[in-house]
Amino acid sequence: MTIDISDEVQAALDARKPLVALETTIVSHGMPWPQNLDTALEVEEIVRDGGAVPAAIAVLDGRIRVGLDRASLEQLAHSKETLKLSRADLAYGVSSGKPGATTVAATMIVAARAGIRVFATGGIGGVHRGAEHSFDISADLGELARTGVIVVAAGAKALLDIPKTLEVLETMGVPVVCHGTDAFPAFWSRDSGLPAPIRLDDAAAIAAFADARDALALGGGMLVANPVPAADEIP
């Protein structure tokens, strides 16, 4: 087994405490130093303040790591050679021994292997504009269709073709739940101009929905779109 689970995360798993998986590409590729490290640490603190244990995921020294200490986050934040790992190259990250940060898809895979059911991120990937010519569709969508993790995000990234992204998710049987809003959000905006496929207003209702899907053995994950606060959005 190439997965190393930190003592804190393992203790939470054993005690059945709430856990939230976190991706690491925002640390390695999404923001400049030192804002990338500051943001990663702040996100972990927000998770803790909410009563859960954060489980950041990455590949270091040929091992998949679930739960990172500050030194590991700093390594990802500083390194210029960190791989960006999705389903297609997650195993290469392990076999090469190079440091690797996980995307939404890879984070879902590892979280599911580790027994973590909830993953929080900024925005998912999706269908790129002009995909009818380029076939540029994020692996995130396929992963949502096959891996049983609840992904909480501020919708799909605004630069995408969001109508096509929602169509593909529907075709793949991935439920899209909008938390407390009748509009599907677009990453930094609260309203993409598209209606919420399903609206649920509290965590208990979302958990009940997930339990019902498990009871029906439907497989795959769920996207929970939680819009940014109104004071922070870009219209």
Please give the single-letter amino acid code of residue 71. A
Nearest-angstrom CA–CA distance, 93 and 75: 15
- Work out the mean pLDDT of the chain and round it to a whole number: 96
Residue 74 annotated as catalytic: no
Q: Is the pLDDT of residue 125 over 80?
A: yes
Q: Given CA atoms 172, 176, 28, 46 in this order, what sign does their dihedral have?
A: negative
pLDDT over 90 at 38, yes or no: yes
Please report, to the nearest 10 degrees, the dihedral formed by the alpha carbons of residues 159, 224, 127, 113 taken in order. Answer: 120
**Catalytic entry in 44, 74, 143, 157:** 157
- Per-residue pLDDT, averaged over 97-110, amounts to 96
Q: Which residues contact 140 (CB under 8 A, 6 or more apart)?
A: 103, 104, 105, 124, 125, 126
Residue 156, pLDDT above cutoff 80 = yes
With 90 as the cut, is the pLDDT of residue 30 above it?
no
User: Can you give the pLDDT at residue 2?
Assistant: 83
The per-residue pLDDT for 15 is 98
Q: Which domains does the chain have, with CATH numbers?
A: 1-110 (3.40.1790.10), 122-235 (3.40.1790.10)
Provide the pLDDT for residue 57: 98
What confidence tens digit (pLDDT) does each residue in 80-99 have? 889 999 999 999 999 999 99
Q: How confident is the model at residue 198 (pLDDT cuts 50, 70, 90)?
A: very high
Catalytic position from the list 23, 44, 74, 143: 23
Surface-to-core class of residue 136, CB atoms within 10 Å of its CB (0-12 exposed, 13-18 middle, 19+ buried): middle
pLDDT-derived band of residue 1, with 50, 70 and 90 as boundaries? low
- Per-residue pLDDT, averaged over 139-157, amounts to 97
* CA 82/CA 76 separation, integer angstroms: 7
What whole-number distance in Å separates Cα of residue 30 and Cα of residue 25?
6
- Please confirm, yes or no, whether 80 is among the known catalytic residues: no
Residue type, 22: L
pTM above 0.85, yes or no: yes
Query: By the 8 A CB rule, do 90 and 113 touch?
Result: no
| H helices present in 17-161, as ranges | 25, 35-49, 70-78, 90-96, 104-114, 131-134, 139-146
Confidence of residue 144 (pLDDT cuts 50, 70, 90): very high
